[in-house]
Structure 1
Amino acid sequence: MRLALITDPRLQKLAALVEDDYSKKAILGAQHAFDDTGNPLRASFLATAIRILVENALHSRSPDDQLKQCSWYQPDPNTCGKPTRAQRAFYAVHGGLPKSTAMEILGIDLDIMKKQLVAAVDKMGRNIHKPDEKIIAEKSEQDQFADEIFNAAIEFFSSIKGFREEICNKMSSEIHDAAMDAFISETIMAVDELATHHCIDEVYVDHIRVKSIDADTVSFSASGTIGVILQWGSNSDRRKGDGMEIEQSFPFTCEFKAPVDQLHQFEESDEPPLVDTREWTDAMRPDEED
């Protein structure tokens, strides 16, 4: 959905903080409610649109079955066993990552982060339910309410996004060197097909990204360059001058996982590492005759 349909600068800023089409439609609905200045229920419709946005975002980012498996989760006696908005926000930020791992490995104090999240959640909650207390009919009061709820929503989503990025960036930096060592084996299928023998010379991991954090697992993707020595013929052949050895590098991508409480204990994903040898194989392929 084009942001041009959303004209209010505050709602444009809010739309930039969400990714899914449903959320953008809810924000567009808020824009329509805001534009309907002759409607005495303008504030109520505006609050409904933002409430739909918040509830959808939290539920989609924090599935109940995953959230309730987190080691930090405690049922709230006041919600009949349903997760609270704050708990959903916690999961959206750090999944099942426990406080001890966040502090000891990443140097992040989740308690401080959670206090700020709770404040943003409470502010958001007060605003989305404010028109339920009375009808806000005066346009000047509606405009003031719109400013309050727009800013509360921006603060709410900015907090979730900012904290999530901080945790993911710290994770990627922390496991970089360990990940580089963990997935370099003596034989990689794609390279194995290029020469009689090969060995891994060096590996550069350019980028590590956190793909997801669920109740018990962090999933990563990595990309970089692998340097290999390709050898044709045996060592004996080479001593006789009949073999050949060259150095070559190839880009690679791989995916791997780690438990949320053991970030250096890696597991390979179901997909094997992918080494892109197309440039080499294309160069070696004989030219096709016309």
Structure 2
Amino acid sequence: MGLEDSLPDKFSRNLLAGCLMVAKDQKNPVRLHLAAAGLRELFGHILNADSPDDEVRACAWFKQEPNTNTVTRRQKAIYSTQGGLSDAFVERLGLDVEDFHRVAIRSIEALNKATHVRPDTLVNDEVAINSFVDEALEALEGLLQSFSEGRSAVKEALVDDVYRAMSNALIEQTFDEINILAGKGYEIDPWIDDAEIEVEALRSQVILVRFSGVANVTLHYGPKHDAAEIHHDFPFWLRFEAPVEKPTELTLVAHHFDDTSWYI
């Protein structure tokens, strides 16, 4: 997956494309500085998009940095990587992304500096411009990688708990989308096809995990002496929530069974 594919939205992709167009325009004597301004905004958009100040401050690990009343870029990067999960839990995951964050913040500082154009700071050397842009893009890619690695590490740590929560939910819950189709009830086979787990969000107080797959369902009809069964597969997803202080305690908060194929 390339850098463009890792960006969170169309705005980010358009901003990156515009920055690169400016940086490659050899007729523009201030192309480095204009590209730097755009790349700085791209870093800022990515850090701010998924890390509201109030959410970052609500994390148990948050401590106000000396000499500032704001949430720092580093703290926003930490939040986007681990949400409100404790440092101790993150350490148990073996997740080490501090270098990614350090490089990204250093790159933002360099971009800030490059946006100030003065006669003695103007850069128009092709090699220097390409090197500067390449380093900024590598730092951005590393920052995005840290976010991805955070969610992947949480997913791997919780995979057994998610399967267990899924199995319990399918056994204990009644799902209206299926129940309405069954005359005398239904059973869901514990074997789930094409199962996929996704950590949808790491927030200050909770994490959201989504389990999706295809459920093999047996629907029952008719009286005991003349019972009938119909087997049908239903694509579905279940969303679970867990408190950050007890991430293995997953509670079902939403679900959907796709019954479209039943009516075809």
After TM superposition, the score normalised by the length of structure 1 is 0.76
1:197 aligns with 2:180: no
The alignment covers a number of residue pairs equal to 256
Partner of 1:91: 79
What runs of 5+ residues in structure 1 fail to find an aligned partner? 1-11, 283-290
Deviation sequence 1:39-79 (CA, Å, 0-9, x none): 3322211211110100111011211111111111111113x
Provide the C-alpha distance between the structure 1 equivalents of 2:237 and 2:81, rounded to a whole number of angstroms. 26
In 2 relative to 1, CA 59–195 (structure 1 residues): closer, same or farther, beyond 3 Å? closer
Answer whether contact 1:44 1:135 (CA < 8 A) is retained.
Answer: no
Deviation sequence 1:147-200 (CA, Å, 0-9, x none): 333333333333333x23422532552433222233122533233223442243
Q: Secondary structure of 1:262's partner?
A: coil
What runs of 5+ residues in structure 2 fail to find an aligned partner? none
Shift of 1:89: 0.8
In 2 relative to 1, CA 189–231 (structure 1 residues): closer, same or farther, beyond 3 Å? same
Shift of 1:86: 1.1
Q: Which amino acid aligns with 2:94?
A: D
1:183 aligns with 2:151: no
1:118 aligns with 2:107: no
Partner of 1:19: 8
Q: Pick one of 221, 234, 256 that aligns with 2:240.
A: 256
Identity of aligned residues (%): 21
Partner of 1:43: 32
Shift of 1:208: 1.9
Q: Pick one of 181, 188, 201 that aligns with 1:212.
A: 201
Answer whether contact 1:85 1:121 (CA < 8 A) is retained.
Answer: no
Q: Pick one of 136, 143, 153 that aligns with 1:149.
A: 136
Answer whether contact 1:121 1:156 (CA < 8 A) is retained.
Answer: yes
Which deviates further from its counterpart, 41-50 or 64-73?
41-50
Shift of 1:263: 2.2
1:158 aligns with 2:141: no
Aligned-residue CA RMSD in angstroms? Answer: 2.8
Point out the structure with max Rg over C-alpha.
1
Provide the C-alpha distance between the structure 2 equivalents of 1:25 and 1:254, rounded to a whole number of angstroms. 33
Answer whether contact 1:221 1:256 (CA < 8 A) is retained.
Answer: yes
After TM superposition, the score normalised by the length of structure 2 is 0.82
